[in-house]
Amino acid sequence: MRVCLLRAGLSRASGGSKFVLGNPKAWLGTAYHEVLEKIVHVDLGQEPLLDAVARLWNEAVAAQERRAKAHALDRRFGPPVGWPGYHVARASVLLRAEELAGKPTPPELPIEKQTRSIEAAAATLREHEFTAFGGKLLGRPDVVRADEVVDYKSGAIFEHDAATQTDVVKATYVRQLHIYAYLVKQQLGWWPQRGILLPLGGAGIEIAFEPSACEREAKEALALLDEYNDRLRAGAGPEDFASPSPENCRWCQYKLVCSSFWKTSSPAWSGHLDGAAVEGVLADGPAMIHAGAARAVSLDIQGGSEVRRRAQIAPLNISTHPAVTTLAPGDSVRFIGLRARPDGVLAPSDRTVLFRLKDLPFVNNERGPIARGP
Ligand code: SF4
């Protein structure tokens, strides 16, 4: 919400996932969390740890694979063993499960019995949903135990800070831990002393909690939510929620359907996004190449992050981009996730998505006037 209220809204909107290309690393992260959540409930006297982790991992990954296969864009990534980071995640989940098994935790207490007592301090809550502000603020930390909140992270936990030219712990993760600490205080009555981020591999990072910083974070999150709801009730359109900029839109999954992005982006954004994004009109029908397995399109670029010109984009594999076989001269299309080569050529990558403009949905606020869609 801090970055862009529209992005936050779209992430909760129904029907949008069809136009969003998923990320295999995130799917592996979901499987990783699922195994760690379930392993603590396995009777290791009946099933050896190694077998239990293998079984839970296979089940979790199979569920992700089934979902990806059923998704028109995600199926391109193929079997899980080919997903980037598969083997690291698989090895890491065993490592973390061994750590959990090696440190037996006391029996979990029902939430209503949690007090600021020695017993409560020793209890462990896993994946418990905490709420505050009448349910407006909600969080589900991976582990809450004596004095600390632990969150498993499957992605990088550091980001580059341009101001100091150093790598720092991701600000979003620090904010998330602060909010978890606030939720623990509200629901259990005690302040955790620290938050721990556990990456896929290696040692965890510890963040010391300052109650005042945690309270501020929680209140700011609530203020953002209230601001969002106030605008929604007032009938604001999607563009009133949007905060387009190269920095904000860089990793956004909703560029294809975001009219603010296409109205605001310019060639000055080139190289600052997660891939080139262009909108334009097909000069000709797609040309067949690679013995019919792919197509090349000639696009008059009229918007997005690249210089307005005529560009050839190829090869567009028809199994990854089936829509390319239905395109005709004069069709308006959008591409995101293209690779802009140093020589200026735009080439598809495994993150490229192509849609005809008229096949994209209108984004509107059902409570207010319909804003112009794409
Ligand atoms: S593309 Fe940019 S403006 Fe649009 S929703 Fe995403 S972050 Fe917001």
Domain final position from 102, 136, 153: 102
Please tell me the residue having the least CA distance from ligand 1 atom 5: 7
Distances (CA, A) of 334 to 80, 328, 356: 29, 14, 6
**Cα distance between residue 354 and residue 369, in whole Å:** 29
In a domain, 232, yes or no: no
In a domain, 260, yes or no: yes
pLDDT band at 322 (very low <50, low <70, confident <90, very high): very high
Give the pLDDT mean for 49-66: 97
Give the pLDDT mean for 216-232: 95
Which residue range(s) make up the domain with 176? 111-221
Tell me which of 2, 261, 273 to substitute to probe ligand 1's pocket, judged by most ligand atoms within 8 Å of the beta carbon: 261
Domain final position from 76, 102, 128: 102
* Same domain for 351 and 300: yes
Q: Is 6 helix (H, G, I), strand (E, B) or coil?
A: helix
* Same domain for 355 and 250: yes
Ligand 1 atom closest to Cα of residue 7: 5
CA of 261 to the centre of ligand 1 (A): 6
In a domain, 369, yes or no: no
Q: Please check the confidence at residue 371 and state whether its pLDDT lies above 80.
A: no
Any residues with CB less than 8 A from the CB of 98 and at least 6 apart, and which? 49
Which residue bears the tokens 């992605």?
Answer: 155
Number of folded domains that form the chain: 3
> Tens digits of per-residue pLDDT, 106-145?
444 344 443 333 334 346 888 899 999 999 999 999 999 9
pLDDT band at 226 (very low <50, low <70, confident <90, very high): very high
Q: Is 296 helix (H, G, I), strand (E, B) or coil?
A: strand
In a domain, 368, yes or no: no
* Same domain for 283 and 262: yes
Tell me which of 20, 254, 269, 305 to substitute to probe ligand 1's pocket, judged by most ligand atoms within 8 Å of the beta carbon: 254
Residue 271 half-sphere exposure, CB side, CA atoms within 13 Å?
A: 5
Q: Please check the confidence at residue 105 and state whether its pLDDT lies above 60.
A: no
Q: Please check the confidence at residue 162 and state whether its pLDDT lies above 90.
A: no
Ligand 1 atom closest to Cα of residue 253: 6
CA of 265 to the centre of ligand 1 (A): 11
CA of 259 to the centre of ligand 1 (A): 9
Which residue bears the tokens 């930390």?
Answer: 141
Please tell me the residue having the least CA distance from ligand 1 atom 2: 249
* Same domain for 214 and 119: yes
pTM, full prediction: 0.86
Please tell me the residue having the least CA distance from ligand 1 atom 1: 255
In a domain, 229, yes or no: no
Tell me which of 248, 272, 273, 364 to substitute to probe ligand 1's pocket, judged by most ligand atoms within 8 Å of the beta carbon: 248
| Count of C-beta atoms within a 10 Å radius of residue 300 | 14
Q: Please check the confidence at residue 365 and state whether its pLDDT lies above 70.
A: no
Q: Please check the confidence at residue 152 and state whether its pLDDT lies above 70.
A: yes
CA of 258 to the centre of ligand 1 (A): 6
Q: Residue 301 forms beta bridges with which residues?
A: 280
pLDDT band at 312 (very low <50, low <70, confident <90, very high): very high
Q: Is 162 helix (H, G, I), strand (E, B) or coil?
A: coil
Ligand 1 atom closest to Cα of residue 3: 7
> Tens digits of per-residue pLDDT, 164-200?
889 999 999 999 999 999 999 999 999 999 999 998 8
CA of 169 to the centre of ligand 1 (A): 24
> Tens digits of per-residue pLDDT, 248-289?
999 999 999 999 999 999 999 999 999 999 999 999 999 999
> Tens digits of per-residue pLDDT, 232-241?
999 999 999 9
**Cα distance between residue 333 and residue 282, in whole Å:** 8
pLDDT at res. 122: 42
Give the pLDDT mean for 20-38: 94
**pLDDT, mean over the chain:** 90
Domain final position from 79, 102, 125: 102
* Percentage of the chain lying above the pLDDT 70 cut: 91
DSSP 191-242: --SEEEEE-SSS--EEEE--HHHHHHHHHHHHHHHHHHHHHHHTT--HHHH-
Give the pLDDT mean for 196-220: 93
Estimate the crossing angle of helix 86-102 against helix 49-69, to 10 degrees.
Answer: 140
Which residue bears the tokens 């510890």?
Answer: 206
* Same domain for 256 and 207: no
pLDDT at res. 13: 82
* Same domain for 145 and 97: no
Which residue bears the tokens 């696009």?
Answer: 299
pLDDT at res. 374: 36
Please tell me the residue having the least CA distance from ligand 1 atom 7: 249
* Same domain for 90 and 126: no
**Cα distance between residue 208 and residue 194, in whole Å:** 4
CA of 3 to the centre of ligand 1 (A): 9
Which token pair is 49? 């740890």
CA of 373 to the centre of ligand 1 (A): 13
pLDDT at res. 106: 40
Tell me which of 255, 272, 360 to substitute to probe ligand 1's pocket, judged by most ligand atoms within 8 Å of the beta carbon: 255
pLDDT at res. 123: 67
Q: Residue 132 forms beta bridges with which residues?
A: 137
* Same domain for 56 and 134: no
Ligand 1-lining residues (CB < 6 angstroms): 4, 6-7, 10, 242-244, 248-249, 252, 254-255, 258, 260-261
Give the pLDDT mean for 194-215: 92
**Cα distance between residue 79 and residue 61, in whole Å:** 10
| Cβ neighbourhood burial of 46 (10 Å; 0-12, 13-18, 19+) | exposed
